[in-house]
Amino acid sequence: MKKIFLSENDMPKSWYNIAADLKTAALPPLNPGTLQPLGPDDLAPLFPMALIEQEVSMEREIPIPDPVQEGLKMWRPSPLIRATGLEAALKTPAKIYFKYEGVSPAGSHKPNTAIPQAYYNKLEGVKRLSTETGAGQWGSSLALAGQMFGLEVKVYMVKVSFTQKPYRRSMMQSWGAEIVPSPSSDTSFGRAILEKDPDNTGSLGIAISEAVEDAAQRDDTKYALGSVLNHVLLHQTVIGLEAKKQMEIAGDTPDIVIGCVGGGSNFAGLAFPYLRDKINGADIDFRAIEPTACPTLTRGKFAYDFGDMAQMTPLVSMYTLGHSFMPPGIHAGGLRYHGMAPMLSHVVREGLVDAYSYHQVEVFDAAALFARTEGIIPAPESAHAIKGAIDAAVEAREAGQEKTILFNLSGHGHFDMSAYDAYFAGKLSDYRPSDEDLAEGIAVTEGLPPV
Amino acid sequence: MKKIFLSENDMPKSWYNIAADLKTAALPPLNPGTLQPLGPDDLAPLFPMALIEQEVSMEREIPIPDPVQEGLKMWRPSPLIRATGLEAALKTPAKIYFKYEGVSPAGSHKPNTAIPQAYYNKLEGVKRLSTETGAGQWGSSLALAGQMFGLEVKVYMVKVSFTQKPYRRSMMQSWGAEIVPSPSSDTSFGRAILEKDPDNTGSLGIAISEAVEDAAQRDDTKYALGSVLNHVLLHQTVIGLEAKKQMEIAGDTPDIVIGCVGGGSNFAGLAFPYLRDKINGADIDFRAIEPTACPTLTRGKFAYDFGDMAQMTPLVSMYTLGHSFMPPGIHAGGLRYHGMAPMLSHVVREGLVDAYSYHQVEVFDAAALFARTEGIIPAPESAHAIKGAIDAAVEAREAGQEKTILFNLSGHGHFDMSAYDAYFAGKLSDYRPSDEDLAEGIAVTEGLPPV
């Protein structure tokens, strides 16, 4: 393991907006009522104007406000690390580098966008943010950011996680957020569900609906989302911008750039600044890694679809398994999402990024090897990127090529040790949805506008 | 929060041995059979000769072998951080700096000594290490270090922790260690206890006895201890040596140096390089912070005593509550030890270091304030140092003095969230042993050689 640090002065001063460099634009989001392209007014009840502007901006560089830079300095710049231990174990001529986002207070890349989101809301007089969280990574990050700028934060946490992951809950509480299990009696949507089914254990779809309703109902409150949207991917580009400077210090350029994908933001954060080089002619291989259990890019359909199960969001063009698809209960909870960020879906569709999928057990095999050789216990989500990097390094060995591989280690696994318990006990299962199941899920997009 | 990083090239090349600078020497350890000062042969069954030599060395600087430096580079140099958020919350004119050891793979300062211990054992042909662990910090660290140098590691984990802290167990398993709940059927001492009391939940005293027996019985195995001994404190001085360089970059020198104390190694690691300056005339205030529940320095007796309950260790001169003292079940498990490192006890006795104690709830109040202002959730042990720093900063405010405070944040609290749950639920209790309880514990030292 060899670390390359940047000084705080070397932190990026602007985010990189890939929209400025794409040869073809992504399809616009649609108002589900009128089926017309979304205008700022459609989003204003939920988001501050600064974020709505970022969502549609065509500027290549968008300055990072000073208070946001100060906030990010709590842990940024994050280290770039050469995985010499893993390289030796694989006997590969490839060089393997990774950007390590687990050094943030919440333990993942999520605060990279939570902090600017909280900042812009504060600037426009918002007093309170509502959001949903599944496993708790995003809720923790927004709690931290809210604390930083003096905003109240209300987190609707999927009830099954609320019960099973008390530690993520205590982390959010440490950062002053109010947390309720979703479905909750705090929203009419939640109450309606509880009335029919008091034992409902919740889903991300329900929690999103509750958080959106909360924000729409209260003048002092806006909604915050932790992935998928253009402005979220934009904020994550600090990862790739730092990595480029660090790779330059290392004297290397990546041949292969790898990240795991759920909603798409950590992958985009590392990849988009390099994707600009590819658009301009560089020969770089981009690999987005998803779980076989939730194969949005590898087996989904590019279509207009809703972002949530309750059909409350705008229609967005993306690879999707259908908004009613229920992914199997794999431990990489952050990758269990039916859709994929429209901007990432677009570059996959354009052939700039390739998608791969792996089974749960082989991903944990990779995680265990990484923990033993590099000393870091990765989050199950991030372990998908490790598996991708290992396979790329083995390919390089078999081809006798000195490839340079760069992947994003988006978070540590300190709050996922029960998954490791299950793995070491041999209790993990692999899941592969049948063609019939996928077809049934994707069928819900058929009545929606064509792409 | 403002971070000061060092480059890997600035890592210390030698450890600092305070024995070279003390005006009076600490009392020697005694063989409990002969009551004569211990010779190398007494320790040879348990430790490799290189560590025995370090234990008694009078050299000021002891070179850190290259492979150990390489191992430490997995996460070192650790950051020095100015706690500007905490300063603002306290409205203090004091500057508060902390050295953050939670960035290590195991999440605390413990790998600083696990790595050299594994290295020297490997060098002398040892194949296997045995050790005990309570909450699991030390066991995790030795597992990591064993993995690094290709040594098998057997961890005797106090049974109640084995059951209650499965995540630390999975961490050790990720790093390839063998873990058994102690008392175990793997040693004759463990079997004897289980025969009398099959439901015995274990104690650190029992686990130490099992690990020592394991090492004494097998030619291929030595024993490793995570605190208390001179060579352990020596290895931890990388903390203070780095901090001195970083404080120089910050343009400050500490007026007050603070750390929590259980066995004493994280405090000594930060403090000893600065204590040298005090011995040479500098005006620095040293504060060792312990729990009121286990008040070794503040209410214990300086005496010869055993390091373990089963009286298997040499007799060492130290502040002690008596080797039979059972500390109350506070959440700062790493501070629940009846004794204190002889070298630290010595400098406390010499008046170079002052001791303070705090109650559990006020320590968690400090931890929660720190989490909210600095974004890091501290280990309950380390939170004692935070409480000490907060009190020093408040003193400075009340006196209108611009003091510079430096403390050691020895670890993060990601594996202690159940303690935070209890705190937020208002379920934590304070404990203060009665004078009678303490006198009873200390009475066991009365038949031992006087100091």
Contact B137/B107 with Cβ under 8 angstroms?
Answer: yes
Nearest-CA distance from A308 to chain B in Å? Answer: 31
Angle B116-A420-B205 from CA coordinates, rounded to 5°: 50
Task: Give residue A35's region: left, alpha or beta (phi > 0; psi -120 to 50).
Answer: left
Q: How many domains does chain A have?
A: 1
Contact A414 B75 (CB under 8 A): no
CB-count burial class (<10 Å; 0-12, 13-18, 19+) for A281? exposed
pLDDT computed for residue A201 by the predictor: 86
Pick from A41, A62, A63: nearest CA to A52? A41
Cα–Cα distance measured from residue B111 to residue B117, given in angstroms and rounded to the nearest whole number: 9
Q: Which residues contact B390 (CB under 8 A, 6 or more apart)?
A: B86, B90, B366, B369
Mean pLDDT, residues A325-345 taken together: 89
Mean pLDDT of chain A: 95
Predicted confidence (pLDDT) per residue in A131-181, tens digit: 999 889 999 999 999 999 999 999 999 898 888 788 899 999 999 999 999
Tell me which of A1, A11, A167 to substitute to probe the interface with B (most B C-beta atoms closer than 10 Å). Answer: A167
Instruction: Please report whether residue B9 resides in a domain.
Output: no
Instruction: Please report whether residue B252 resides in a domain.
Output: yes
Q: Which two tokens stand for residue A298?
A: 């590898």
Enclosing domain of residue A252: 66-107+231-445
Cα–Cα distance measured from residue B339 to residue A124, given in angstroms and rounded to the nearest whole number: 56
Q: Does the pLDDT at position B330 exceed 90?
A: no
Contact B227/B259 with Cβ under 8 angstroms?
Answer: no
Contact A148/A118 with Cβ under 8 angstroms?
Answer: yes
Instruction: Please report whether residue A360 resides in a domain.
Output: yes
Contact A157/A207 with Cβ under 8 angstroms?
Answer: yes
Contact A238/A11 with Cβ under 8 angstroms?
Answer: yes
Residue A68: Cβ within 10 Å count: 23
Instruction: Please report whether residue B309 resides in a domain.
Output: yes
Question: What DSSP state is assigned to residue A79?
Answer: P
Q: Which two tokens stand for residue B17?
A: 């041995």
Predicted confidence (pLDDT) per residue in A239-249, tens digit: 999 999 999 99
Instruction: Please report whether residue A217 resides in a domain.
Output: no
Pick from A40, A58, A39, A1: nearest CA to A343? A58
Mean pLDDT, residues A358-370 taken together: 97
Mean pLDDT, residues A213-241 taken together: 96
Contact B167 A417 (CB under 8 A): yes
Total beta-carbon pairs less than 8 A apart between chain A and chain B = 96
Residue B202 banded pLDDT, cuts 50, 70, 90: confident
**Which residue is closest to A167 within chain B, CA to CA?**
B417
Residue B204 banded pLDDT, cuts 50, 70, 90: confident
Dmax over CA atoms of chain B, in Å, equals: 63
Contact status of B424 with chain A (Cβ, < 8 Å): yes
Mean pLDDT, residues A107-132 taken together: 98
Question: What DSSP state is assigned to residue B10?
Answer: G
Could you tell me the CA-to-CA distances from A236 to A227, A262, A285, A383 in Å, in that order?
Answer: 10, 14, 20, 19
Cα–Cα distance measured from residue B139 to residue B106, given in angstroms and rounded to the nearest whole number: 9
Mean pLDDT, residues B250-265 taken together: 97
Report the residue from B105, B173, B376 with minimal CB separation from A376: B105
Residue B241 banded pLDDT, cuts 50, 70, 90: very high
Contact A199/A192 with Cβ under 8 angstroms?
Answer: no
Mean pLDDT, residues A198-204 taken together: 87
Contact B171 A144 (CB under 8 A): no
Q: Is B289 helix (H, G, I), strand (E, B) or coil?
A: strand
Residue B328 banded pLDDT, cuts 50, 70, 90: confident
Nearest-CA distance from A141 to chain B in Å? Answer: 10
pLDDT cut 70: percent of chain A above it = 100
Q: Does the pLDDT at position B223 exceed 80?
A: yes
Contact B337/B226 with Cβ under 8 angstroms?
Answer: no
Residue A66 banded pLDDT, cuts 50, 70, 90: very high
pLDDT computed for residue B398 by the predictor: 98
Instruction: Please report whether residue B307 resides in a domain.
Output: yes
pLDDT computed for residue A139 by the predictor: 97
Could you tell me the CA-to-CA distances from A177 to A128, A141, A170, A414 in Å, in that order?
Answer: 10, 10, 10, 21
Instruction: Find the range with the poorest average confidence among A226-230, B82-86, B166-170.
Output: B166-170
Contact B414 A107 (CB under 8 A): yes
Cα R_g (chain B), whole angstroms:
20
Contact B5 A7 (CB under 8 A): yes
Contact B14/B61 with Cβ under 8 angstroms?
Answer: yes
**Residues within 8 A of B (CB atoms), A 27-66 only:** none
Mean pLDDT, residues B154-172 taken together: 89
Pick from B282, B294, B235, B231: nearest CA to B255? B282
Mean pLDDT, residues A193-209 taken together: 89
Q: Does the pLDDT at position B315 exceed 90?
A: yes
pLDDT cut 90: percent of chain B above it = 86
- Domain CATH number, residue A433: 3.40.50.1100
Share of chain B residues as helix, strand and coil, in percent rounded to the nearest 5:
45, 20, 35
Give φ, ψ of A250 to 5 degrees. -70, -15
Predicted confidence (pLDDT) per residue in A265-303, tens digit: 999 999 999 999 999 999 999 999 999 999 999 999 999
Predicted confidence (pLDDT) per residue in B8-61, tens digit: 899 999 999 999 999 999 999 999 999 999 998 999 999 999 999 999 999 999
pLDDT computed for residue A325 by the predictor: 87
Pairing of strands A95-100, A178-182: unpaired
DSSP assignment of B317-378 equals EEEES-TT------S-GGG--S---HHHHHHHHTTSSEEEEE-HHHHHHHHHHHHHHHS--B
Q: Rounded to the nearest 10 degrees, what angle do helices A342-349 and A265-279 cross at? A: 40
Q: Which two tokens stand for residue A293?
A: 């259990």
Mean pLDDT, residues A376-386 taken together: 97
Cα–Cα distance measured from residue A205 to residue A134, given in angstroms and rounded to the nearest whole number: 10
Pairing of strands A80-82, A95-100: antiparallel
Instruction: Please report whether residue A117 resides in a domain.
Output: no
Mean pLDDT, residues B72-80 taken together: 93
Mean pLDDT of chain B: 95
Instruction: Find the range with the poorest average confidence among A231-245, A421-435, B274-288.
Output: A421-435
pLDDT computed for residue A310 by the predictor: 79
Q: Does the pLDDT at position A1 exceed 80?
A: no
In chain B, which residues have their Cβ closer than 8 Å to the Cβ of A415?
A: 414
pLDDT computed for residue A324 by the predictor: 84
pTM for this prediction: 0.93
Cα–Cα distance measured from residue B272 to residue B231, given in angstroms and rounded to the nearest whole number: 13
Handedness of CA B74, B204, B442, B313 (dihedral sign): negative
Contact B7 A5 (CB under 8 A): yes
Cα–Cα distance measured from residue B235 to residue A417, given in angstroms and rounded to the nearest whole number: 29
Report the residue from B148, B174, B372 with minimal CB separation from A377: B174
Q: Is A343 helix (H, G, I), strand (E, B) or coil?
A: helix
Contact A421 B372 (CB under 8 A): no
In chain B, which residues have their Cβ closer than 8 Å to the Cβ of A173?
A: 420, 424
Instruction: Find the range with the poorest average confidence among A391-400, B57-66, B133-142, B357-366.
Output: B133-142
pLDDT computed for residue B273 by the predictor: 98
pLDDT computed for residue B309 by the predictor: 78
pLDDT computed for residue A146 by the predictor: 97
Residue B165 banded pLDDT, cuts 50, 70, 90: confident
**Which residue is closest to A75 within chain B, CA to CA?**
B3
Contact status of B7 with chain A (Cβ, < 8 Å): yes
pLDDT computed for residue B22 by the predictor: 97
pLDDT computed for residue A327 by the predictor: 83
Task: Report which listed range, A306-320, A411-425, B103-117, is most confident.
Answer: B103-117
Q: Does the pLDDT at position A321 exceed 90?
A: yes
Contact B406/B99 with Cβ under 8 angstroms?
Answer: yes
pLDDT computed for residue B324 by the predictor: 84
Mean pLDDT, residues A221-227 taken together: 96
Pick from A392, A229, A426, A210: nearest CA to A312? A210
- Name the residue type at position A224: A
pLDDT computed for residue A333 by the predictor: 84
Tell me which of B10, B73, B115, B167 to substitute to probe the interface with A (most A C-beta atoms closer than 10 Å). Answer: B167
Handedness of CA B389, B391, B394, B396 (dihedral sign): negative
pLDDT computed for residue A161 by the predictor: 85
